[in-house]
Amino acid sequence: MAMLDRYKKKGGFIQLLQLIETSNKTKQEQFLALIASESPAWEETLRKKWITIDKILNWNPVYLSEIFSRIQILTLASAFQGFSDDKLAIVLKAISATDLRKFQMTVQEINPNSGEKITSQMKILSETRALIAKGIIKLEKLDQELMIPENIEEKLAEGGYSSSVNSAPVQVEKELIFDGKSDSKIDAFKEEIDFLRKKVNQLVNENNLLKHELSVFRNKIEQIKKIA
């Protein structure tokens, strides 16, 4: 039985995509070489659609914050250990103020090996896919090239994933967003507003926590001065 046979059913493309995303580079290339021998169209489309850490770092910082807030600090620190300063700067901006110091301290304290780094990066990718599946992260707002139409398996079976297939889901999303008569547009806006409201509340809570810590710190200084 060919490898692709089990993935040609509905939803199979995403299952295979997630398998590739959460494999190390050697395994990825082995999978893709095997897939290419069976269907160059599948191999080409998988390469276009898979999510990588580098692609994620190009996304809006608001969505990066949503992803990173769900990942343990040790995992984040391991995943981004050894990254270039410019990429690390993107990560730091997306980490909450309360976790920033923990992240910086953890990065200095740990020395993950390559396997630990890859495992940590896989956890980030898995969480990202989960947020996409839940609709919390909307690819149409971040990278339309990564959008996957519901019937992609059928399109690939019909002779490949053409540019017309790429444009189809994008057009649907545009209609949902810009068609003023669409109930789906209202739902999309409500989800977006709810998402932003939660982020604002989170920032307010973090700001209040920092104010409290600053107040405690000042009181300790005053006590030290009195004792001195």
Measured distance CA(45)–CA(162) in Å, rounded: 9
pLDDT digits over 122-139, tens only?
999 999 999 999 999 999
Query: How much is the pLDDT for 201?
Result: 60
> Domains of the chain: which residue ranges?
3-161, 179-228
pLDDT in tens, 12-47: 999 999 999 989 889 999 999 999 999 999 999 999
Domain boundaries 3-161, CATH class: mainly alpha
Q: Please state the three-class secondary structure of the chain as a single string.
A: CCHHHHHCCCCHHHHHHHHHHCCCHHHHHHHHHHHHHHCHHHHHHHHHHCCCHHHHCCCCHHHHHHHHCCCCHHHHHHHCCCCCHHHHHHHHHHCCHHHHHHHHHHHHHCCCCHHHHHHHHHHHHHHHHHHHHHCCCCHHHHCHHHCCCCCHHHHHHCCCCCHHHHHHHHHHHHHHHHCCCCHHHHHHHHHHHHHHHHHHHHHHHHHHHHHHHHHHHHHHHHHHHHHC
Please tell me the pTM assigned to this model: 0.69
The pLDDT profile of the chain, 228 residues, written as one tens digit per residue, is 688 999 999 999 999 999 999 898 899 999 999 999 999 999 999 999 999 999 999 999 999 999 999 999 999 999 999 999 999 999 999 998 889 999 999 999 999 999 999 999 999 999 999 999 999 999 998 999 999 998 899 999 886 555 343 433 333 333 333 444 455 445 555 656 666 666 666 566 566 666 666 767 777 787 787 776
